[in-house]
Chains A and B, each alone.
Chain A
Amino acid sequence: MDRTRWFFHPILVFIFSIAALGLSLFLYIYWYMEVSTGLESIIRRFNLDSGQVLESETWVVILVLSILVAIILLGIFTIFVYNQKTLQLYRLQNNFINSFTHELKTPVTSMRLFLETLLKHDLSREDQHKYIRYMILDIGRLSDNINRILDLARLESKSYKANFAVTDPVKAIRRFVESNQPVFRDLDILIKPPARDDSRCQIDLSLFDMLLMNIFTNAVKYNKSETPRIEISFEIGTRRFHIRFKDNGIGLEKIEIKKIFRKFYQVGRADDMSAKGSGLGLHLVQNITRIHRGRMKAESPGRKQGTTFILSLPLCRQRSALS
C-alpha cells in the first residue's frame, strides 16, 4: 500500500502541473487576444492608423509565451525523471542493505562467537583447531564480500584501465579451472573443446578470472541437484567468439532474466528474506563483459531447468597472422 502511494504521487503531481501549465498558456493567449481585439476596436473607433503594428506584436507575444512554457515543461519533465531515478536507486539501496547486512554480519557473528567461546572455555587442542579453521573460513567469506564491493567500485569508474592481452579464451578457462580445483571440488566441470582452438581474443586475465569465478560460484550456489554440473561449450562466429556456460541449477523465470544483471538485484522475494548474497556478482560480470566489448546473455527454459550464460567476445582480426 505504501509503495503504491509513493509511486503514484509524483505522477499525479506531474500530470496536474502539466495540465495547469497548458491551461495557463491557453488563458494567456486567449486573454491577450481579447484585450488586443478590444484595443483594435478602440483604435478603429478613433480612426487611428496603427493596426498593423498591433497584429505583428500579437504573434511575437504568443511565440515568446510558447517558448517560455516549453522551457518550463522541459524543466518539470527533467525533475520528474530524476525523481523517479532517485526512487529507484533508493529501493535498490534498501535491497542491498537488507541482503548485504546479512552477508557481512554473519561471518562477524560467527567469529565473535568462537572467540568468546575460546576465551571462556578451555577446549581441547583438537577442538580449538577446528574452530580456528572455522574462523579462517569466515574471514575468507568476509574478505570476499569486501573485495566484491571494492572491485565493483573500481570497475564502474570510467577511468578503469584494463590490462588486455591477446589470449585463447579456451586456454584461459582451462587454466582457471585447474588453478581453482580445490574451490570447485563439488562442481562437475565439463569443457567441450571447439573444433578449432586457435581463437584469439583481447582478454584481461585477472578480470576474466573474476567473471568465471562469479559464474562458477553461481552454478554451485543456485543449485539443488545432487551433483552440480557446469558444461562449457564454444562456438566460433565470423567476428565473435561465443562461450556457453550451461548449469543444472535452479533456473530462472522469464521475468527474472532481464533483471539479474542489475546492480543489487536478487532472485528471491525481498519480503521473506530468502534472498541472500550481495546482488553484485552478475552486475560485476556484466561490467567486465562491457570492458571487454563483449555481450552477456542468460537463457533458461524455466524454474528447475538450469540456466545458460552466453558470453560473446569480439575475435581479434589478426588471428591468422598470429597463428
Chain B
Amino acid sequence: MTNKDKRHILIIEDEEHIAEGLKLNLALQGYDVTIAGDGISGLQKWKSGKPDLIILDIMLPGIDGLSVLQNIRLEDERLPILILSAKGTPDDRVKGLACGVDDYLAKPFNLEELLLRVDRLLTRVSWNHSDHGSREPGKLSQYTFGTNQIDFEAGRARCNAGEIQLTEQEIKLLKLFITNSGKPMSRSKLLEIGWGYAGGMTTRTVDNFIVRLRKYFEPDPKKPIYFKSRRSVGYVFNPNPSEK
C-alpha cells in the first residue's frame, strides 16, 4: 500500500487511551485518523469527514455502537466498518454482523491483526471502486408494498396521496422500517437510529413522522395496516398485512 493518498479512518471509541493508541499506530501506517469520543459526535464526524473506514466501539455513551452502525447503514451500505468491542461472544458477533458490520474484533486484540484487517478492508473497497466506477451508496433503490411504490434514488413515491417528493428524513425512516419489517421497534430506538439522537429525549418526533407516513401510504390513515402501533413497545412495519 504505497500509493494510497492518505486514507481517512474514523475511530469512534470512548476510552481515550485505546483511541490514542489506535491513532498512533494507524498514523504510523500512513493513515489520516480522527477520533470521536461518543456515538453522537461519531455520527457528526462521519458526515463531515467522509472517512474511508470506521473503527467502532459498541459500549458508547449516548448512542451505542450498534445504533451508530445502523444509522450509517441506512445511508451508506459500502463504507467498511470494523467493530472493536469488549463483547466477544458468538452472540455479540452475530448481532454486530446482522447490523451490517464488515469485521468484528474482540478486545483485547492483537495489534498486527487489527492493522492487517484494516488494510484488507481498505484494499477491497478500492477494488470495488475501480469495478463500478461511481460509488452509489445503498442497495435499496426501489421498494413496493401494497399499492405504494417508493423510488429511493429519486426520493419520490407513488402512493395513495398521489405522487410525492419525500424528505431525506422520511426516506431514512422508511429504509429503517423496511430493513426491519416485521420487527417491533421502540420509539427511542427509532430516534437513535433514524435521527442519531440519544434516546430518552422527546419521542413525539417519531409519532409525528409516523402520522405523516400513514397519511402517505395507508389506505385509511385512521386504521393503519402497514405502520402499526404496538402498545408499550413502539411501531412495527408490515409490508404484507394480508399474509398474517
Q: Is the CB of A113 within 8 A of B111?
A: yes
Using Cβ atoms and an 8 Å threshold, which residues of chain B touch A110?
15, 17-18, 21
A274 at the binding interface (Cβ < 8 Å): yes
**In the complex, what's the smallest C-beta–C-beta distance from B65 to chain A, in angstroms?**
8
Using Cβ atoms and an 8 Å threshold, which residues of chain A touch B22?
113
Report the bound CA distance from A175 to B217 in whole Å: 69
Q: Is the CB of B59 within 8 A of A117?
A: no
Using Cβ atoms and an 8 Å threshold, which residues of chain B touch A102?
59, 86-87
Known: A102-B86, A121-B28, A272-B64. A137 touches B59 (CB 8 A): no
Interface residues on A, range: 20 to 34
Cβ < 8 Å to A, chain B residues 42-71: 58-64, 67
Q: Pick from B102-110, B118-126, B154-162, B207-215 the stretch touching chain A.
A: B102-110
Cβ < 8 Å to B, chain A residues 92-108: 98, 101-102, 105-106, 108
Question: 1/0 contact trace for A103-130 toward B, CB 8 Å?
Answer: 0011011101110110011000000000
Cβ < 8 Å to A, chain B residues 9-47: 15, 17-18, 20-22, 24-25, 28
Closest A residue to B186 by beta carbon equals A271
Known: A102-B86, A105-B86. A113 touches B18 (CB 8 A): yes
B199: contacting residue among A109, A114, A272, CB under 8 A: A272
Report the bound CA distance from A117 to B109 in whole Å: 12
Known: A102-B59, A121-B28, A272-B64. A109 touches B86 (CB 8 A): yes
Using Cβ atoms and an 8 Å threshold, which residues of chain B touch A269?
199
Report the bound CA distance from A273 to B20 in whole Å: 22
B112 at the binding interface (Cβ < 8 Å): yes
Tally B residues with Cβ within 8 Å of A: 27
Q: Is the CB of B18 within 8 A of A101?
A: no
Q: Is the CB of B108 within 8 A of A109?
A: yes
A262 at the binding interface (Cβ < 8 Å): no
A109: contacting residue among B28, B107, B192, CB under 8 A: B107
Using Cβ atoms and an 8 Å threshold, which residues of chain A touch B58?
273
Report the bound CA distance from A101 to B107 in whole Å: 10
Closest B residue to A271 by beta carbon equals B64
A276 at the binding interface (Cβ < 8 Å): yes
B18: contacting residue among A98, A106, A273, A276, CB under 8 A: A106
Using Cβ atoms and an 8 Å threshold, which residues of chain B touch A116?
110-112
Using Cβ atoms and an 8 Å threshold, which residues of chain B touch A28?
none
Known: A102-B59, A110-B21, A134-B17. A120 touches B64 (CB 8 A): no
Using Cβ atoms and an 8 Å threshold, which residues of chain A touch B25?
113, 117, 120
Q: Is the CB of B21 within 8 A of A114?
A: yes
Using Cβ atoms and an 8 Å threshold, which residues of chain B touch A105?
86, 107-108
**In the complex, what's the smallest C-beta–C-beta distance from B98 to chain A, in angstroms?**
15
**In the complex, what's the smallest C-beta–C-beta distance from A31 to chain B, in angstroms?**
48
**In the complex, what's the smallest C-beta–C-beta distance from A108 to chain B, in angstroms?**
5
A138 at the binding interface (Cβ < 8 Å): yes
A184 at the binding interface (Cβ < 8 Å): no
Report the bound CA distance from A131 to B17 in whole Å: 9
Q: Is the CB of B17 within 8 A of A108?
A: no
Q: Is the CB of B21 within 8 A of A113?
A: yes
A selection of 15 A-B contacts at a CB cut-off of 8 Å is: A105-B107, A106-B18, A109-B107, A109-B108, A113-B22, A114-B17, A116-B111, A117-B21, A134-B17, A134-B20, A272-B64, A272-B192, A273-B64, A274-B60, A276-B59
Interfacial residues, chain B to chain A (CB-CB below 8 A): 15, 17-18, 20-22, 24-25, 28, 58-64, 67, 86-87, 107-112, 192, 199
Closest 8 pairs (CB-CB, A-B): A116-B111, A113-B21, A109-B108, A109-B107, A105-B86, A110-B17, A273-B59, A272-B64
- Not counting A109-B107, A112-B108, a sample of 8 additional A-B residue pairs whose C-beta atoms are within 8 angstroms of each other reads A109-B108, A109-B109, A112-B111, A117-B21, A120-B112, A138-B17, A272-B64, A274-B60
